[in-house]
């Protein structure tokens, strides 16, 4: 649920097995209670969703529609007042998988709410190196930038995240969680 809310939204189907065979659910009510419990008690902030009940060939299927959230990033409940970027479990969707979001992605999700808008940003020598590198190669990673300009990975990460927030770069995540950045078109 968290991964869908943090990304573009999506659907979860109960009563369909991994082979896409309709097997139905034993109890619509039990499924609905489990979904409500998960959304309210295991997601921080709470994830919004809609339930729909479908009968297909006499079998009950429960669908959960999760819209893209305006309260990103959602995380697994950790009972902390503030998001701890180093320890919070924040998930995103990549193709058909839910994977843990990197620190860079968490920063970008947080900024997408508008509560951390990029007010002013100047292009310095590190940023120029990024664009020169991207003129020769298709993409760049935090580690590559760190090595190129001999700065810490933390500083390289912040540089790339700010360029994403300024709409100059786009972040991409592979199925294995590896991330890279490309120039915005």
pLDDT in tens, 106-136: 989 988 876 555 667 788 899 999 999 999 9
CA dihedral of residues 157, 93, 71, 44 (deg, nearest 10): -100
What tokens were used for 79?
Answer: 């009972």
Tell whether the model's pLDDT for residue 66 goes beyond 60.
yes
What tokens were used for 182?
Answer: 């490309």
Query: What is the Cα 62 distance to its own chain's centre?
Result: 24
Percentage of residues of the chain with pLDDT beyond 90 = 73
Average pLDDT of the chain? 91
Among all chains, which residue has been given the structure tokens 């790339």? 160
Query: Residue 57: which residues within 8 A CB-CB, separation 6 or more?
Result: 22
Percentage of residues of the chain with pLDDT beyond 70 = 97
Q: What is the pTM of this model?
A: 0.80
Which pLDDT score, from 0 to 100, does residue 118 have? 65
Tell whether the model's pLDDT for residue 30 goes beyond 60.
yes
Among all chains, which residue has been given the structure tokens 């649920």? 1
Which pLDDT score, from 0 to 100, does residue 113 have? 73
Averaged pLDDT, 26-46: 94
Residue ranges of domains in the chain, CATH in brackets: 2-109 (3.30.950.30), 118-183 (1.10.10.10)
Which carries the bigger pLDDT value, residue 117 or residue 76? Answer: 76
Under the banding of pLDDT at 50, 70 and 90, the label for residue 40 is very high
Which pLDDT score, from 0 to 100, does residue 182 have? 94
Instruction: Output the CA torsion sign for 93, 99, 103, 104.
Output: negative
Under the banding of pLDDT at 50, 70 and 90, the label for residue 31 is very high
CA dihedral of residues 117, 123, 126, 132 (deg, nearest 10): 120
Neighbours of 162 (CB within 10 A): 18
Which pLDDT score, from 0 to 100, does residue 70 have? 92
Which pLDDT score, from 0 to 100, does residue 165 have? 87
Identify whether the C-beta of residue 113 lies closer than 8 Å to the C-beta of residue 122: no
């Amino acid at each position: 649920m968290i991964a869908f809310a943090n990304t573009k939204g999506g659907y979860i189907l109960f009563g369909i097995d991994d082979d896409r065979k309709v097997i139905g659910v034993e109890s619509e009510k039990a499924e609905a209670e489990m979904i409500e419990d998960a959304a309210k008690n295991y997601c921080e902030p709470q994830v919004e969703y809609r339930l729909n009940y479908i009968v297909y060939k006499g079998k009950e299927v429960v669908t959960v529609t999760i819209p893209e959230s305006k309260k990103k990033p959602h995380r697994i409940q950790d009972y902390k007042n503030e998001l701890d970027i180093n320890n919070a479990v924040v998930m995103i969707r990549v193709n058909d998988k839910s994977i843990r979001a990197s620190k860079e992605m968490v920063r970008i999700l947080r900024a997408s709410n508008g509560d951390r808008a990029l007010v002013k940003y100047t292009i310095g020598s590190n940023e120029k190196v990024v664009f020169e590198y991207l003129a020769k190669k298709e993409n760049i990673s935090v580690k590559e930038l760190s090595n190129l300009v001999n700065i810490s990975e933390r500083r390289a990460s912040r540089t790339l995240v700010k360029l994403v927030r300024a709409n100059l770069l786009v972040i991409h995540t592979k199925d294995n969680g590896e991330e890279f950045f490309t120039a915005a078109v």
